[in-house]
Amino acid sequence: MAIRITFRPEKNQPPIVQTSLVQPLTSGADSIQEPQRGRKVIHNAAENKDIAEILAELDALVGLTTVKRLINEIQAYIEIQKRRTREKLTAEPLVLHMIFRGNPGTGKTTVARLIGKLFREMEVLQKGHIIECERADLVGEYIGHTAQKTRDQVKKALGGVLFIDEAYSLARGGEKDFGKEAIDALVKAMEDHKNELILILAGYKHEMEWFLQTNPGLRSRFPIHIDFPDYTIDELLSIGDSMLKARQYEFTPEARNAFRFMLQGLLNSHPYAGNARLVRNMVEKTIRKQAVRLYQKSSSSREELIRILPCDLSLEEEDLK
């Protein structure tokens, strides 16, 4: 099943969700396998408490409305294919390798971790852990070194998810670059371990599209493409509130307005400012500034220890990195 989500350039317009089904297989390694003897059979995924908790955790994330809907569709799709298999009906092959496209800090890694946990509970993956890596973890310094480094990362990820950030960097060096060797090793691993591994390639939207064009065979191997949009100003504010609440802090109304004004200025002046990583940096710096302010007093009330004031807010260029 190939799935692509495209966000319209016009505001207030819903995203376009396109799906297409591959030809069903009636037998072979790509077919849905019967559950192993002795393992539990989930007749209704909604009845599985662990799955419900993972989906609730996904739903609790700020924003990402279309991403959440797609994950729920994939979960339902897997469950129905398993039911069809139990009834001796033709089932679609489970090809779940994915492309995540979006700016840094837009939730790609968080969603990948939840997918690993979800697929473990659905018995698609044995472990459901995630191995995060980038070019330096895969590309070696001499002929043969890259293939071994890549195989090592694949071995660590077996039973779970191999998440490669800035995957497009593997193709930037041209034909003689060792990055091409890493791509070839990954493609081989996808065939050799098709039932033991899910590969997620992530990066900026335009760079990932270029990357897929450099190797025509890659696009067909990744049937699920998910675009992660930048957060809106209200979503960034909500993320900031949540981060403070988790640490038992809260904005005063004046500080929250100042925080909104600061974020609005960043969104207007920096193309990649709409991300949670920036908010986290700002929140952590704000907490430190509040600590310096309160440290100058001999004692502090509980309320003072909780409240964030406008004077605690600041932003430096390094926060944007």
Just give the CATH number of 233-320.
Answer: 1.10.8.60
Give the model's confidence band at 261: pLDDT under 50 very low, under 70 low, under 90 confident, else very high: very high
242 sits in which H/E element: helix 233-246
Parallel, antiparallel, or unpaired for β 98-102 and 16-20?
unpaired
Whole-number pLDDT of residue 23: 37
Whole-number pLDDT of residue 174: 62
Partner residues linked to 20 by β-bridges: 2
Judge whether residue 149 has pLDDT over 60: yes
Determine the straight-line distance between the first and last CA of the chain, rounded to whole angstroms. Answer: 37
Cα separation values, 183 from 108, 133, 150, 200, 209, Å: 21, 14, 9, 13, 15
Parallel, antiparallel, or unpaired for β 2-6 and 16-20?
antiparallel
Angle between helices 108-121 and 65-86 in degrees, nearest 10: 20
Q: Which long-range contacts (CB under 8 A, 24 or more apart) does 257-261 make?
A: 258/310, 258/313, 259/313, 260/233
161-180: average pLDDT: 84
- The more confidently predicted of residues 143 and 293 is 293
Give 240-249 pLDDT, tens digit per residue.
Answer: 999 999 999 9
The answer to which of 15-24, 145-154, 212-221 has the lowest mean pLDDT is: 15-24
Tokens of 120: 């473990």
DSSP string, 2-24: EEEEE--SSTTPPPEEEEEPPPP
**233-320 has the same fold as 2-228:** no
Give 188-203 pLDDT, tens digit per residue.
Answer: 898 889 889 999 999 9
CATH class belonging to 2-228: alpha beta
The one-letter code for the residue type at 278 is: L
Whole-number pLDDT of residue 192: 87
Give 268-301 pLDDT, tens digit per residue.
Answer: 877 666 688 889 989 999 999 999 999 999 999 9
By the 8 A CB rule, do 315 and 270 touch?
no
What value does the mean pLDDT of the chain take? 82
CA angle 199, 202, 205 (to 5 degrees): 140
Whole-number pLDDT of residue 21: 40
The residue ranges of every structural domain in the chain are: 2-228, 233-320
